Chain A
């Protein structure tokens, strides 16, 4: 007679989740969960490890100032990536000037896969890395977030400020291009 029983484990987990949702996350906790992912994303976006660390520091300073906003966040992963993306864009505008910065943000020329990953010894993999870097900026970003951060298209849409369908189609086009480049078109 399972119907009359209360699933204590499940109930407990639910309560824990609610409790966890309500309290403010500590900075250390945010770093443990997202710090390195954010750093790699910044290296991918900015193409420089020094700039990436600077922007990460700025982002965490911003997190330190947020109090009320944390309580309103539904998806912490999408939120932190969105904040770090905005901070990276601000950094590029500040560094290169408004016009050049905007151009750099749109083209995504500052960063890329090559900056974020170590050069592979495998020739096929090296070719794939080059092909990935040749993708248009918007497809490159969606592929990066999907493949390496395991985000859903909804999360990617939140991070990049695009719709779920746009995120999905960008990913599809990007992967198709990579497949064509690798010569594996069926």
Chain B
């Protein structure tokens, strides 16, 4: 509608237009139709992709782009989930790792086997120390009782 209005208001002097229309267009070369159409049909036949394949290729490329765009997002989500799982676990560490950490804390030097042996000795000595302290404690408690008790042995 707007275009029609523009067509109407545009002043186009009929005389000038009419004069221009009197100009004779140059002739079209003979056989051009055949040449043009033959080449176009040849191009259609030699096209690397048929129209159907082209549509398929476009669809596939859209899918690939979508996957490439989504993959980092999904990967990030997955990594976050894994981190949460690993942080929450209780006994996933091996005994070797625990021993290594303990040796580090206690300042035990040497090879892996040395460290394990010294840690075992330390554990045994700690256990023995506990037993000695128990014995001393028991002796302290019995001390008074032994002093007040009459001997059963005849004098």
Contact = CB atoms under 8 A, between A and B. Distances in A.
A117 B26 contact: yes
Contacts of A175: 11-13, 16-17
Contacts of B47: 64-65
A168 B36 contact: no
Interface residues of B, number: 38
A120 B21 CA distance: 12
A83 interface: no
Contact of A164 (B6, B40, B43): B6
Contact of B23 (A117, A153, A182): A117
Contacts of A64: 40-41, 43-44, 47
Interface string B16-59: 11011111111111001101110111011001000100110000
B98 interface: no
Nearest to A122: B22
Q: Which bucket holds chain A's interface residue count?
A: 35 or more
A4 to B, nearest CB: 31
Nearest to B18: A147
B10 interface: yes
Nearest to A61: B43
Given A128-B20, A171-B10, A184-B16, A53 B35 contact: yes
A129 B23 CA distance: 8
A77 interface: no
A143 interface: yes
Given A147-B21, A154-B3, A171-B10, A61 B39 contact: yes
A27 B51 CA distance: 15
Contacts of A117: 23-26
A31 B40 CA distance: 11
A125 B24 CA distance: 10
A38 to B, nearest CB: 10
B7 interface: yes
A45 interface: no
B2 interface: yes
27 contacts: A27-B37, A39-B28, A39-B32, A53-B29, A53-B36, A57-B35, A57-B36, A60-B37, A64-B40, A65-B44, A67-B54, A116-B25, A116-B26, A120-B24, A124-B19, A128-B16, A128-B19, A143-B20, A153-B6, A154-B2, A154-B6, A164-B6, A175-B11, A175-B13, A178-B16, A179-B13, A182-B16
Interface of B: 2-4, 6-7, 9-13, 15-17, 19-29, 32-33, 35-37, 39-41, 43-44, 47, 51, 54-55
